[in-house]
Amino acid sequence: MSLNILILGAGELGSAILDALLQHPAYHPSGVTIAVAIRAETLDSLDKGVSSPRIESLQAYRAKGITFTSADLVEHSEQKLSELFSRHNCVVHAGAMTLPEGTQLKVTKAVLAAKVDLYIPWQWGRSGGMGLFSEQCDVRDLLRSQNHTRWYIVSCGVFMSFLFEDFWGVVVRSNQGRITVVRALGGWDHLITATTVEDIARCNAELLLRDTSTNHRNRTIYIAGDTMTYDEFADLVERTVGHTIERELWSTEYLKSKSSEEPENKLLKYRVVFSEDKGLAWSKEDTYITSKGIGMEGIEAYMRRMNMQ
């Protein structure tokens, strides 16, 4: 059966999935059609050839045979989304991290109403994080309650880039850009599982284009670029940058208090989730990537590739 894939979103993850699909050895345009759903205003700018790095990136994908369609996951009704999804047999959700409450469930209902063959929703987590992941768990329950649409949920831990972003707070840099402090979220013995966006995308591409094993259908797929404690992470950072760093602990209670000051800020809630050390880290050796022989980039290699100091 030919694949007609619709990717929801062309941000950091959506673009990485596009790259991974186009570069995958099993990809061929005669058997795989790829479309991307973006906002109407973005599509209008693309059609008009507006000059900007984002539009130029989308134009490059269009030149490679990728098509674009407009969709607003927040404003469009379930029925309207279902009509769009019904034109495709695979849907990949690549942009749900900061969507309003209820959007992920609406999108999933639209996917099921459209009788899509395969759905990869936004990854969901387990309990914790002040109820942040309750809707993702509702998505899981809805998918498990039906038998028509096959699904995978790709669980990657935290995006590896987050560990080094200012908003995440784990790594602190001086004005000269040197890493000076590493913070532990919750405890120094708490585990971190981190995966690069590129490797998340490669695993999605493998699931879409080549993995026909029934063992990997209708379940969570665990992947990992690296898994280690915050103490081990601080040691690794210090060893990689070649100078001494300070260490600071941010307790879960402290992070909850900071989140309560900005209750609408989902990133702060995500930080609470990852400080609680509940079900968001796993051994790299026991993951999907190991069984498939897919090499993944670890934190040290990522730091060296990004020339961190």
pLDDT digits (tens, 9 = 90+) for 189-242: 999 999 999 999 999 999 999 876 666 689 888 999 999 999 999 999 999 999
Chain segment 128-163, per-residue pLDDT in tens: 444 556 777 888 899 999 999 999 989 999 999 999
Q: What is the pLDDT along the chain (309 residues), one digit of tens a residue?
A: 689 999 999 999 999 999 999 999 999 999 999 999 999 999 999 999 999 999 999 999 999 999 999 999 999 999 999 999 999 999 999 976 678 888 989 999 999 999 999 999 976 444 444 455 677 788 889 999 999 999 998 999 999 999 999 999 999 999 999 999 999 999 999 999 999 999 999 999 999 998 766 666 898 889 999 999 999 999 999 999 999 999 999 999 999 999 999 988 888 988 998 999 888 899 988 788 777 778 899 999 999 999 999
CB atoms within 10 A of CB 253: 11
| Cα–Cα distance, 83 to 81 (Å, whole number) | 5
pTM: 0.92
- Helix/strand/coil for 216: helix
- The third-level CATH classification (topology) of the domain covering 3-158+195-222 is Rossmann fold (3.40.50)
Q: How many angstroms from the chain centroid is the CA of residue 74?
A: 19
Query: What residues form DSSP beta bridges with 174?
Result: none
CATH superfamily entry for domain 160-193+226-279+295-305: UDP-galactose 4-epimerase, domain 1 (3.90.25.10)
pLDDT value of position 133: 65
Exposure of 27 by Cβ count < 10 A (0-12 exposed, 13-18 middle, 19+ buried)? middle
pLDDT value of position 1: 66
Phi then psi for 168, rounded to 5 degrees? -80, -30
Element (H, E) at 76: none
CATH 3.40.50.720 domain locations along the chain: 3-158+195-222
pLDDT value of position 214: 63
CATH 3.90.25.10 domain locations along the chain: 160-193+226-279+295-305
